[in-house]
Structure 1
Amino acid sequence: MFDNFGDYMFWLLFTPLKRVKKSVNQFYIFCKVIGKLFDNAKDAIFRVRTESMILSASEVMLTVHGKDRDMPRLKGEGTEGYRRRLSMKAIIAEKAGTNEGLILAVKALGYQNVRIEPLYLTAPSRWAEAILWISGGDFIITDRDVIQSEINKVKPASAKISLAQEQVYDGTTYCAGVLEIGRIRTFRQV
């Protein structure tokens, strides 16, 4: 019904104050000026609301959110990856020191397939060591030093986590073996 707050304020006035033409009515001029100030304040409040949330903040404000959380943008990290990592900060911090926290920290870097292989299962003397297998994802960080640094922030203090990148390929796998019966060789598809 109203395009701006000034028109609404003028509409609220009682009729005797609105009888003069709008071009010379001092109440109309006053309402237009004050209404413009209120419209600008409303726009500023909505912009602050938008910028205060990580999911809708502009790229410039993401840097400010990162400084608040002591999380600078990593080398090679895109805007959406940074946004995702910032939004997962509280969840990762809550689960720090656990296997689930390690997995979430690496998933925040963009990897989808993450699994932990404890070494005590194969070598009991290596009870505090594990291998973290990673693969897949959209916005992934490829620098191993950056990934290892993020893992070290979340891992248990006594643990030693080694990073291993897993290569996953879709398709048919062929394994061949030689079975000699006389002079005939056979191969099987697995």
Structure 2
Amino acid sequence: MIEFESIAWENNELLVGIDEAGRGPMAGPCVVCGVVFPQGYLNPEINDSKKLSERKRQDLVDVIYNDALNVELIVVDVETIDEKNIYQATKDAMIAIAKKSIAKVVVTDAMPFQLSEKDVQSVVKADQKSISVAAASIIAKTTRDQLMVEYDRKYPAYGFAKHKGYGTKQHKEAIIKFGRCPIHRTSFRFKDEHQISLDI
């Protein structure tokens, strides 16, 4: 999990790992996070957020904030997602974090971009290869999940606490029954929202 960190640390450089949570859902923000650990940092418990239980992710949040040199978060709102499209909105947030970071080396989870003053590496499944990206995935995921739980209290008809805004059958049926609420992404549509029964 420190393949990329080791190279950076050997060159006496810091590395920021950047990941996101929420590119795929039909509702709610996308949360982008960057994490910088001190040189030589190790923690075998930190892994890709998708491989960890909800409780384990929560347990690691305080550890990451305590151990990291820097944690940077950007919450990309629905309006920005609809205006730019989800890919560009996510990319812009990652670039902003990379530019601001104290680290010269940047590793993203499969999001390519270039910055003249940084060494940017786009790595497929980086959250399974870099402890910094894995930590970013944990912070992004837990932050977004908590936001969706709060939205569930505000808009209880949609079940956001359960599906976190993803396009489940329950969620799509709620949209058909109640229409869209303010945190739904208008740029995300599914097949014939006016039909009564769904073939999902």
After TM superposition, the score normalised by the length of structure 2 is 0.24
- Greater relative contact order structure (CA < 8 Å, 6+ sep): 2
User: Which one has the largest radius of gyration?
Assistant: 1
